[in-house]
Amino acid sequence: MHEFRLTLKLSLPLILSNVAQVGLGLIDSAMVGAISYKQLAASSLVINAIGIPQVICIGMTIAITALVSIARGQRNEVAASRYLYNGVLLSTGISLLIALLCWLGMPLLDHMGQDPDIVPIAKPYFLVMAWGLVPMTFFLGLKQFSDALEHTHTGMILSLISLPLNAFLNWIFIFGHWGVPRMELLGAGVATLLSRVLIAAVLAWIIWRHKAYAAYISVRDKAWHFSRKTIRELLHLGVPSGLQLVMEAGAFSVSGIMVGWLGATAQAAHQIALNCASTTFMAILGLSMGGSIRTAHAYGANDRHRLYAIGKSTIMGGLIYGLAAGLLFVLLRYQLPLLFNQETAVVQLSAQLLLVAALFQVSDSLQAIGAGLCRGIKDVRLPTLLVTIAYWGIGIPVGYVLAFPMGWGASGIWWGFVAGLSMAALFLNRRFLKLVSAQA
């Protein structure tokens, strides 16, 4: 309980930050859904299509947290500052390349078997969201550094500020106020892009000027240079971490595209249920990140007994959270969809999907915890293979068979989520406990 309280204290700002980031998507969905369900379906198509590029960018920044935490455990400010400089440089450069590839690959949206009325609405939004990956990645790189130093309130405050900022900019650009033309879904993309640029600039200024980061900024003459060794370390941890996220997000994205084969109503219902599930996931992801930071610090300090206690207590916390989130979905499955759309068919199907989502809340929570704990001890290669098997060898095939040959529709695809997430949770947590209990 002592270790869990410390982990939870560190994680609460991370949880709020993550929920705030999902809140940006929820605000977009709610405001464009008020225009029409086709706008919401187009938003869903873009979110699914850009999901894999986005998590690649996020995965590259995750390496910064683990390596800075380990350097901090070793009391090495120069190494931590070097990881900051090279990590932000590497991840932002990769995000620029990915944004360019998204722009060049935009015609692929015409060949995904989607409703023909949806694609023309989605394309401009997709382009803006692709370039929005660059300021998002720059911000996350800086935030991961700040979080690794356990200054988690900084990112939390900025993430919370971005919610009303994004809502206000949405109001201007989606509906056309203050002399701005009405842009509808495209306006949501413009608002998100501007919000990301602003909070990234503010965080960069805080890290440069605030005394809490002075020890790491003051050694910049020694640390801030391109280092091939540091880049290799970042890639060694960041590429497998990114691939883990790609395997999960890719499975959800491909499943979302398959749902689109069932029509705009199914696509809109899928997006509503996915928004709700993403919100609960981002909360547990905050606990996973807190556990990862603390395990990395204990790993760097070579304190194996504390490492085991942190990991085991975080897993138990994830189990309790998953049960609570599942109960919430069961009780509110008819009320939550009304926040996004009033169409009766959309609401009814969303309620069915939320009932299935309630079943995988425990699995989703535990797989997130397991992945974060393994990253904290720099164990990423085998977990990446295990996650790939769980999502692509089990989850996607099960979902496809249930949805189409067996005729379960969108619910069948979500049952595939249950299968994939359950196996990932089992694989990852068993792997961590086996490694750490032996060392302890």
Q: Which CB contacts under 8 angstroms, 24+ apart, belong to 98-106? A: 98/53, 98/56, 98/57, 98/130, 98/133, 99/53, 99/130, 99/131, 99/133, 99/134, 101/53, 102/50, 102/53, 102/126, 102/127, 102/130, 102/133, 103/127, 103/130, 103/131, 106/130
Residue 440 has pLDDT above 60, yes or no: no
Q: State whether residue 267 is helix, strand or coil.
A: helix
Residue 205 has pLDDT above 90, yes or no: yes
Query: What pLDDT band is residue 164 in, cutting at 50, 70 and 90?
Result: confident
Query: What pLDDT band is residue 202 in, cutting at 50, 70 and 90?
Result: very high
Q: What is the DSSP letter of 181?
A: P
Residue 422 has pLDDT above 80, yes or no: yes
Nearest to 244 by CA among 381, 134, 369, 360: 381
Query: What pLDDT band is residue 201 in, cutting at 50, 70 and 90?
Result: very high
What is the pLDDT averaged over residues 213-227?
A: 85
Nearest to 152 by CA among 277, 287, 247: 287
Confidence at residue 127, expressed as pLDDT on a 0 to 100 scale: 83
pLDDT digits (tens, 9 = 90+) for 339-358: 777 777 888 888 888 888 88
What is the pLDDT averaged over residues 369-373?
A: 88
Nearest to 399 by CA among 247, 287, 254: 254
Separation CA 190–CA 75 (nearest Å): 42
Percent of the chain residues past pLDDT 70, beyond the cut = 94
pTM: 0.73
Residue 323 has pLDDT above 70, yes or no: yes
The H helix count followed by the E strand count for the chain is: 18, 0
pLDDT digits (tens, 9 = 90+) for 269-279: 887 888 788 77
Q: What domain count does the chain have?
A: 1
Confidence at residue 33, expressed as pLDDT on a 0 to 100 scale: 67
Query: What pLDDT band is residue 327 in, cutting at 50, 70 and 90?
Result: very high
Query: What pLDDT band is residue 203 in, cutting at 50, 70 and 90?
Result: very high
What is the overall mean pLDDT for the chain? 82
Residue 17 has pLDDT above 90, yes or no: no
Separation CA 52–CA 253 (nearest Å): 7
Range of the domain at 126: 2-439
What are the structure tokens assigned to 326, written together?
């599942």
Residue 114 has pLDDT above 70, yes or no: no
